[in-house]
Amino acid sequence: MTMSSQFSITEQIIAECRDDYVGLWSIVRRIRNAGMSENVKAIETTLALLTELLTQRRIIVGQFVDHEFREWKMNPEEVVVKIQREWTELGRDPNIGEIAWFVAARGLQ
């Protein structure tokens, strides 16, 4: 994946997060559609992108509990470790509703 396509994916994700909650599955699908078919590379690319967006505080991560979004109170490194661990435990790409959801950080919405 080129830098320009990674930038484009990043901007698409942020734009989508401004409109609605975005599941991890959707981000993975965008990365795979950009040509990352190799599992290890797709996971590394996804986690690197999430690390960047979380560190820059452009997105917030959480999960739905009783139909309510609950933000994870963790630093970006802890979030990425959690996502990687749960993704590995799945043994496949995440599906709708699995592992995590993202929304644009307040002020960016």
Task: Give the model confidence (pLDDT) of 46-66 as tens digits.
Answer: 999 999 999 999 999 999 999
Compute the distance between CA of residue 3 and CA of residue 9 in angstroms, rounded to an integer.
Answer: 10
Compute the distance between CA of residue 46 and CA of residue 66 in angstroms, rounded to an integer.
Answer: 27
pTM: 0.88
Choose between 58 and 106: higher pLDDT: 58
What pLDDT digit, counting tens, does each position of 2-53 carry?
555 566 889 999 999 999 999 999 999 999 998 888 889 999 999 999 999 9
Query: 3-class SS at 28?
Result: helix
The fold for domain 3-104 equals NMB0513-like (1.10.3510)
Compute the distance between CA of residue 109 and CA of residue 17 in angstroms, rounded to an integer.
Answer: 8
Domain ranges of the chain: 3-104
